[in-house]
Amino acid sequence: MARKKKNDEIKTEELSPNAHIAGAGIVQPQHITDILETNFMPYAMSVIMSRAIPEIDGFKPSHRKLLYTMYNMGLINGARIKSANIVGRTMQLNPHGDAAIYETMVRLTRGNEALLHPFIDSKGNFGKAYSKNMAYAASRYTEAKLDKICNELFRDIDKDTVDFVPNYDNSMTEPTLFPVTFPSVLVNNNLGIAVGMASNICSFNLNEICETTIALIRNPDHDVSETLLAPDFSGGGILLYDKEKIDEIYKTGRGSIRVRARYSYDKKNNCIDITEIPPSTTVEAIIDKIIELSKGGKLKEISDVRDETDKSGLKITIDLKRGVDADALMLKLFKKTPLEDPTSCNFNVLIAGVPKVMGVAEILEEWLGFRTECIKRRTAYNLGKAKDKLHLLLGLQKILLDIDKAIKIVRETEEEAEVVPNLMIGFGIDEIQAEYVAEIKLRHLNREYILKRLEDIEELKKTIADMEDILASRSRIKNIIISELKDVMKKYGKERRTEINYDFAEDADENEDSVPDYPVRLFYTNDGYFKKITPQSLRMSGAHKLKENDYITLELDSTNAAELLFFSDRCQTYKSRASEFEDSKTSLLGDYIPTKLEFDQGENSVYMAVTTDYKGYMLFFFENGKVAKVDMSSYATKTNRKKLINAYSDKSPLVAAFYINDDAEFVIKSTSGRLLLFNSGAIASKTTKNTQGVAVMNLKKGHRVASVVNYNEGMFTKPQRYRTKTLPSAGAILSAEDSGEQITF
């Protein structure tokens, strides 16, 4: 036991080597500002400058390391190789995991369709930018090489046009920027999220960007919007042009633009095919939103939606119900789904290591300054090479004076190390020239060879003078940039993919929901049951199924888009639409309105009005002999309100209600047996819904209006008997001639 205890003590001491240090294990308080300064700020600066924000050449470091690796592998002209090989080689410059490098590569490929001008020519499954479920294949299955446009990224990169820095382990060098011959920073979209800032640069058409840059070179005060119409996206779509917002983006580098999906209507299959969507959304997000709205009862026009994307490209198919207006439905979908989505712009670019948000003109000016420096450095490099060659040829020219003397000097020199000095003394040339002469092969020591070399002297002098003139002339450098831009346009320019819609304001004002519109016959019963039956179904049906003692009080032909107003016995109106009811059959009871529209407890429906334009009038006949004539427009609402209170007056019980488009005649009967033939044109209409109305029938004490019916021609033998020139009127007793008629009230 003693031995075991001793071993335990030794083990504890080994596990706690700092146990003897004073203060070990005690938490020391630190100021949060010190922690931020020493830990957080260096990380934030690293993310901003070396990861998330693009530079003036349009690339982030991760993009640049990948593309430069592929350039060094000879993939700009060679055949495609496995992506896994490219990823592995890129790790020499980019010390990250292979997954992060491959994800960067995927976005740059032609197959992913994320960029307007892809930099990588790909083969295999690289997923799709417009779908989050279409995952890319592993790097061992795909192949890639640089696209032809990359010639413009690496042109003259080996002529000191840009700076090179050592990689992370000093084993090789890499460029800090690419000497791009066109403003790629605005040609391809770029998104980056740093610490405390972000960058979101939308893409523009290559031709428009080059034309705008040329215009700015020729006139620094050029209005950018004259040549740069609007952003252009790889996925196409339709851009809703708002000049104020576009000008704001061009001027400040911040703002947003709205892009709509492109669709076509397949009349044969009664479906909508969506083939282009906004760049800020995905196929899955659109379909999920449509399904959500359909389940919530807000999209009753759609019977099915599915993703039919295949090798031919993106395609979302929406099956429509019968009678649906496709264009009206799409306006509704634009408002409620990502089929119309805003795209934010934040033109944040690193300029000399400092993040800066700039407008389009300012970015192009910065790029012109960068490209001007590239051309100067390239010219200076070529000038140096030309001067060096001229210097050698001038030395060779002196040898031409006496080739035999040069041969004699070489032959008579005993030590090899003395050959160059002796040539320098013999011909009065410097060491570099003498070294060049000494290295000439024996077979070239003939007059013909030397004369051919000397012919280059005059050409070199002209070339050197020309390059010196370029370095001294700003206008010549500008002309070189213009020439290069025109060459890029000719080689790689494409038509716009995103259509610009200048006349979308009318669409934006559209606020009516799209509903399937087809003929229907509407039925309303005394007990408050409602049926909507199509003419086809009605022709093949039998008698109506009704509750005991119930009967149909209203039957009329209308459309599925008609609006329905159900008046209750509590002076309230419940609004609905025929489209909100399922097509019924005569063999069914139909929908019970108080339940369907969620009437108050004990509230009953007394009348149904059907309208499509809210024109005409509502007539309310009360027991006290008054009639209220209310404009139907008083029941129209701008918002989608379902319930209106004070729909009619509550001062006297309601006997009957009628909806009329034009003035008509009605027969009013009182409990005293008197009849009054009344024309609604005799009273003026009111806009106040709960107006008490105008006295139409005089009633004796204890009597009231019993019923009201529409007057039909031939109902009375002498209708003048029941008419009156003045109101109110007591009416007339039913004559003996009419008493035999079957007049139902």
Task: Say which residues have a Cβ less than 8 Å from residue 433's Cβ, sequence separation at least 6.
Answer: 391, 392, 394, 395, 396, 398, 424
For residue 25, what are the CA distances in angstroms to 22, 39, 306, 343, 422?
9, 22, 61, 53, 78
Q: How many residues does the chain have?
A: 745
What does residue 737 show for φ and ψ, rounded to 5 degrees? -65, -35
CA distance 552 to 527: 9
DSSP annotation of 634? G
8 A C-beta contact, residue 529 and residue 593: yes
Q: Which residues lie below 8 Å from residue 6, measured CB to CB, with a gap of 6+?
A: none
Q: Give the separation between CA 552 and CA 533, rounded to whole angstroms.
A: 14
Question: Other C-beta atoms within 10 Å of 415: how many?
Answer: 8
Six token digits for residue 515: 């509903």
b/e sequence 357-395, b meaning 16+ C-beta within 10 Å: ebbbbbbbbbbbebbbebbebbbbbbbeebeebbbbbeb
| Cβ count near 214 (within 10 Å) | 19
Given a contact cutoff of 8 angstroms between Cβ atoms, the answer to whether 253 and 357 are in contact is: yes
Q: How far apart are CA 423 and CA 407, in angstroms?
A: 10
C-alpha distance from residue 128 to each of 106, 121, 236 (Å): 9, 15, 14
Write out the two tokens for 575.
């609004």
The owner of tokens 């307007």 is 116
What does the alpha-carbon distance between residue 75 and residue 83 come to, in Å, rounded to a whole number?
12
For residue 256, give the 3-state DSSP assignment.
Answer: strand
Cα 580 to Cα 599: distance, rounded to the nearest angstrom: 16
Cα–Cα distance measured from residue 403 to residue 407, given in angstroms and rounded to the nearest whole number: 6
Tell which residue, 682, 712, 710, has the closest CA to residue 695.
Answer: 682
Could you tell me the sign of the dihedral formed by the alpha carbons of 371, 90, 165, 346, in that order? positive
Three-state secondary structure call for residue 678: strand
- State the DSSP H helix or E strand holding residue 706, giving kind and residue range, or none if neither: strand 705-710
CB 632 within 8 A of CB 614: yes
Q: Is 535 helix (H, G, I), strand (E, B) or coil?
A: helix
User: Among all residues, which ones are annotated catalytic?
Assistant: 141
Under DSSP, the state recorded for 131 is: B
Please choose, from the candidates 562, 592, 591, the residue with its C-alpha nearest in 3D space to the C-alpha of residue 577.
562
- Which residue intervals of 188-325 are DSSP H helices? 206-218, 224-227, 243-252, 283-295
Residues with Cβ < 8 Å from 600, sequence gap 6 or more? 568, 570, 572
Residue 282 neighbours by CB under 8 Å, 6+ apart = 130, 131, 132
- Across the chain, which distance is largest between two alpha carbons, in Å? 160
Q: What is the DSSP string of 578-614?
A: GGGS----TTS--EEHHHHTTPPTT--EEEEEEESS-
